[in-house]
Amino acid sequence: MKRILYILLLNILFCGCGKLTNVLDVDPPNNLTPENVAKNKEGLRNLLNGAYAQLHNQNYYLHVEAIPATLGGTMQRGASFPDVQYQDNNLNQTIANVNNLWMAFYKMINQANWVIQLANELPAGEISDIEKEQIIAQAQGLRGMATFDALRFFGQYYDVNSPYGVLVRTEVVDFTNRHLKRSTVAETYTQVLTDLDEAIAKAPNFTKPIYISKTAAKAFKARVMLYKGDYAMAAQLAEQVITDGTRSLSPTFARVFSDGFNSSELIFMRATDAVTYTADRKKLTYSNGGVLVSAWLKTFMAGDPRAALSFNATSNLVLKVNNTTFFAPTYFIRMAEMYLIKAEGLARTDAALADAKIPLQTVRSRAFGTPQLSLATTKPALLDEIHAEIIKELCFENGSDWFANQRFDKIKTIKPKVTSVNQYILPIPQSEILSNNLFGPQNPGYEQ
């Protein structure tokens, strides 16, 4: 990505509330807006880069690690972050970081909508059909990812029949469409899957893990189907990603991170470099102990070789998602998750116990460097093993631990302050409820 683009597009172009408007009749040359940037294919490419640049919003790249890990019990609040309410699983709709997380997702969605809209408005001949199709597909992949993130954090993602979905936005926000009713969970899933299917069909083939590709879109779809409860489809999609030859498990757990952007395992991640790292919030939050590994996780991972690579057991500093050699990238999805989705998907269906064990054993054997066999003789016992492996392999990564502790019904034991399923999701920010008079009811348990 272009360094200048980070500065221009993040700080000038894109606000969460929609397009910028001119207050003067004169449109000065340096008054950059999406409409006058995307006049040709180079401008459209820059606009797409601006969508990827939304991943450099600390409320996205950092908060999707630290906030769910604190809620889920694998991290604990350090000096000042995150808010103590996350530590206590006792949130309300006025907390600033609730709004910040919500807005991070919808800024990405709005930016993706700009790309899609203006790609379709380019004059004929400005761009080839295939390049236009691939740019739109990448924007749809990013929109699908962000919409699903909004759903799993703020909607009852676990109940497809629930009315408590999130806002489904497929148009650039302006003053004519700012007010919008929240969608149902089923409607939200439909839009997410529509976007991901388009990306699977039309996005570029995999080149680098910093771009949305067909492989990345399929991996995200496998995750979505798992959360949705379509376990057979989740396992099937994960198997396709595993076997298509695009990505593969790194030889060792350490090399997942030490190989950086060249790791064979990474499917989609945030691109970082020395320039982005100068303002990166991770180096302040993790390196200075703003948030720490929890006592529960230290005990849970005792004896596991991944522990020393994930956190410092003496200082309690988080290490894995603060890889300073590669400027603290954010790992949104990688191959180990595909193996664990396959294992969980098979274990939750009528598949043979032996078949469900194979992908689990593959990940565990890679971690220990020697063959590791599952001792489970029943599906419930195997699910316990899969849960443990998700925590040990994917802790701190993009909410994997928090949502696994929910799916496997472990969270109320790990964090006794979680007493209700209502606490599985965050409250809709008060700012959204007050500014969007069509939105609808607040999430259950957070009504005033």
Q: Report pLDDT digits (tens) over 101-110.
A: 999 999 999 9
Q: Each residue of 282-317: pLDDT tens digit?
A: 988 999 999 999 999 999 999 999 999 999 999 999
Alpha carbon distance 213, 137 (integer Å): 9
Kindly state whether residue 281 falls inside one of the protein's structural domains.
yes
User: Are 150 and 261 within one domain?
Assistant: no
Report if residue 40 sits inside a domain.
yes
Which of these three, 160, 186, 203, is where a domain ends? 203
Q: Which of 142, 168, 203 is the last residue of a domain?
A: 203
Question: What's the total number of domains in the chain?
Answer: 2
Beta bridge partners of 75: 293
Whether residue 323 is predicted with pLDDT greater than 50 in this model: the reply is: yes
In this predicted structure, what is the pLDDT of residue 174? 93
Q: Which amino acid is at 46?
A: N
How far apart are alpha carbons 378 and 353 in whole angstroms? 7
Q: 209 pLDDT exceeds 90?
A: yes
**Does residue 214 sit within a domain?**
no
Percent of the chain at pLDDT above 90? 87
Residue 96's pLDDT band, with cuts at 50, 70 and 90, is very high
Q: How far apart are the first and last CA of the chain?
A: 44
Does residue 394 contact residue 321 with C-beta atoms inside 8 Å?
Answer: no
CA 1 from chain center: how many Å?
20
| 260 contact partners, CB below 8 Å, separation of at least 6 | 323, 325, 326, 329
List, in sequence order, every residue forming a beta bridge with 315; answer none if it has no partner.
none
- CA–CA dist 16, 342 (Å, integer): 36
What's the mean pLDDT when you consider all of the chain?
A: 92
- What is the CATH number for 40? 1.25.40.890
Among positive and negative, which fits the CA dihedral 411, 414, 419, 425?
negative
pLDDT at residue 33 in the model? 63
pLDDT-based confidence at residue 362 (cuts at 50, 70, 90): very high
Query: Is the domain of 270 the same as that of 336?
Result: yes
pLDDT-wise least confident of 35-39, 306-310, 357-361: 35-39
Rounded CA separation 341/343 (Å): 5
Residue 85 domain flag:
no
What pLDDT is stored for residue 320 in this prediction? 95
> Would you place residue 40 in the very low, low, confident or very high pLDDT band (cuts 50, 70, 90)?
confident
What CATH code is carried by the domain that includes residue 389?
1.25.40.390
| 190 band by pLDDT with thresholds 50, 70 and 90 | very high
Asked if pLDDT for residue 210 goes beyond 90, the answer is: yes
Rounded to an integer, the average pLDDT of 49-57 is 96
In-domain check, residue 361: yes
Residues 395-427 pLDDT 10s:
999 999 999 999 999 999 999 999 999 999 999
Work out the pLDDT band at 26, boundaries 50, 70, 90: very low
* 69 falls within a domain: no
CB atoms within 10 A of CB 288: 13
pLDDT at 9 over 50: no
Mean pLDDT of 268-273: 94
Task: Indicate whether 183 and 278 sit together in one domain.
Answer: no
Q: Residues 260, 397: one domain?
A: yes
CA-to-CA distance for 321 and 269, rounded, in angstroms?
Answer: 11
Residue found under tokens 């529960």: 296
pLDDT at position 327:
93
Q: Which structure tokens are listed for 167?
A: 């806002």
Residue 410 and residue 344 share a domain: yes
Q: Are residues 50 and 136 in the same domain?
A: yes
pLDDT of residue 39: 77
Question: Do 249 and 175 reside in the same domain of the chain?
Answer: no
Print the domain residue range for 403: 230-423
> Quick one: 385 and 246 in the same domain?
yes
Q: Do 238 and 133 reside in the same domain of the chain? A: no
Q: Would 303 be classed as within a structural domain? A: yes
State whether 159 and 104 are in the same domain.
yes
User: Domain for residue 371, yes or no?
Assistant: yes
Same domain, 261 and 116: no
Q: Which residue has the tokens 């565990």?
A: 364
Whether residue 30 has pLDDT greater than 80 = no
CA angle 212, 216, 222 (to 5 degrees): 140
Separation CA 261–CA 9 (nearest Å)? 24
pLDDT band at 3 (very low <50, low <70, confident <90, very high): very low
- Give the span between the Cα atoms of 420 and 356, in whole angstroms: 31
Per-residue pLDDT at 79: 81
Residue 38 or residue 18, greater confidence: 38
- Does the pLDDT value for residue 130 go beyond 80? yes
